[in-house]
Amino acid sequence: MVDIVLVSHSLKLVEGLKELVAEMASDVNIYAVGGTKEGEIGTDYDQILATFENVGEDGAIVLFDLGSSYMASQMALEALPESVQNKIAIVDAPLVECSIEAAVLAGVGNTIAEIVNHLAKYKLGKIPN
């Protein structure tokens, strides 16, 4: 089953979102990565990389809040072997609504490609072309 990774500048934000998403898709692995090592607002490349290294064999969908969360996620993804990179998709979509949709879709057996395709209609333009 595809995992869901939630990346934010705020650990409180993604922990709360993880709780909400788990109510809708309790069988899906959901990872919340937010804040700095010191517990402050920000993003932490090392935490994101460690999370990416632990996703399941079916891979993961990554949703993020702001631009630097995307940049840190992209850098972490690029640090992984290509075989792992191919199993992780960072998606340009609203964090809250699409986290729930992605988890529900993962829970009923959709692949990463199917989930990415479904979420494409919500594109916000947060990822530079």
Active site residues: 9
Looking at residue 65, its amino acid is D
Strand order in the sheet with 3-8: 30-34, 3-8, 60-64, 88-90
Q: How far apart are CA 64 and CA 1, in angstroms?
A: 20
Run of H or E including 52: helix 45-53
